[in-house]
Amino acid sequence: MFFIIVTSCTNNKFSVKGNISGAEGRLLHLQQIKPGFLVPVDSVVAGSDGSFSFEAKIKMPAYYMLSLSKQNFVTLLAKPGEKINILTKSDTLSADPEITGSEGTAVLLDFQKKHETLIKHLSRLTKIYNDSINSRFLPLIMDSLDRRAASLVSDFQDYSKKYLDENIKTMAAIYLLNQQSVPGKALFDPIKEPDLYYRVDSALFAKYPESDLVIDLHNYVSRLRTHQRTEKKNSGIIMAGSSVPDIALPNPAGDTLRLSSTRGSVVLLDFWASWCPPCRDENPNIVTMYNTYRQKGFTVFQVSLDLKKEDWVEAIKTDNIGKWYQVSDLKYKDSEVVKEFNLGTIPSNFLLDRDGKVIGINLQGEELQKKLAEVFANQ
């Protein structure tokens, strides 16, 4: 009976101890993380060798912040019975601390290291951009850097989804749902990926229905479900069967041309630029398709993301693509069309039927040839 009572008391507690280099004689705070606020648990003064120890009651896995200041802290995911040990080589708690004795915290640290690697890669790309500011090839360099950055972020998001699935039945899932891929951009979009939130909520609410953080997530998911039921918009994503926003931009002569003026024709709405090699490589194929089907009602509406008018005009002449609509506001990725059409990269295109509805997306080469052959087969 005595053994059972002692074991039960131990399992309702967790401890945190260790040594923080440079924290000698400084005040350490342990706070529990609640939805939107922190609850003080205890404070101790580190010993002359930087040693410290905390012990706190706990009923279920919960998040804690161990801090020397508001900006200097480390996040812990503790559960009953754990004995967490922390060693650091400096007084900066987040600088690669050695933490043992906590499964949940290990999950957080592994994710943080992966994220730090992403940020380092993106910082290198930023340096390349800064070093190339005065280069005449800046638009091409920018496009290459954008593609590389998008690939890095996409790979990280794929990793994060897999990591979330691996930890979906643990409280670590709440932490992962609330992270950012890059500053200002959420790792997961609840509007585009609501199923991720539904699955985490389902797993955790059944397991920890009394947890404040789980209840907070459950309430959020309830509101998300209501939003999904009442909002049937596609969040700006253009899909087959939908209409596209109208475009009204100047041609090289300065006259404003509208995409809507092409109604009644089958239209290839193509986004390109003179500095984009894949775009230029595809132009001969578009010329062939235009010459083949223009008598049957096919036309092309090309929107350039160029910066310099002379480069744009020269490319039109060189590629022999002045036979159809050519427009641009010469604002590169600051152009409104980039936002309206969710353009991530170019070349990018939409094939529109005679009513302006999308019947094909990003068709190039043989795919475009086959689709147009199908469209005009009986015309």
Question: How far is residue 278's CA from residue 236's CA, in Å, rounded to a whole number?
Answer: 25
Question: How far is residue 77's CA from residue 102's CA, in Å, rounded to a whole number?
Answer: 7
User: What type of residue is 149?
Assistant: A
Contact 85, 99 (CB under 8 A): yes
Q: Which domains does the chain have, with CATH numbers?
A: 2-87 (2.60.40), 106-230 (no CATH), 248-375 (3.40.30.10)
pTM: 0.62
Contact 313, 330 (CB under 8 A): no
Return the HEC string of 32-97: EEECCEEEEEEEEECCCCCEEEEEEECCCCEEEEEECCCCCEEEEEECCCCEEEEEECCCCCCCCC
Taking Cα atoms as reference points, which of 87, 91, 61, 88 lies closest to residue 76? 61
Residue 379's pLDDT is what?
Answer: 67
Residue 241's pLDDT is what?
Answer: 80
Question: How far is residue 78's CA from residue 171's CA, in Å, rounded to a whole number?
Answer: 10
Burial 29-54 (b: 16+ CB within 10 A, else e): bbbbbeeeeeeebeebebeeebebeb
Question: How far is residue 10's CA from residue 56's CA, in Å, rounded to a whole number?
Answer: 10
Residue 100's pLDDT is what?
Answer: 96
Residue 234's pLDDT is what?
Answer: 44
Let me know if 312 is exposed, middle or buried by CB neighbors in 10 A (0-12, 13-18, 19+). Answer: buried
Tokens coding 203: 């797993």
User: Could you report the average pLDDT of every consecutive run of 10 residues in the chain (379 residues)?
Assistant: 42 92 94 91 95 95 94 94 94 90 96 95 93 88 90 94 95 93 84 89 94 93 78 58 89 93 94 89 94 94 92 94 94 84 84 92 90 85
Residue 335's pLDDT is what?
Answer: 87
CA angle at residue 62 from 59 to 68, to 5 degrees?
Answer: 125
Q: In the chain, what is the straight-line distance between the N-terminal and C-terminal CA atoms, in Å?
A: 89
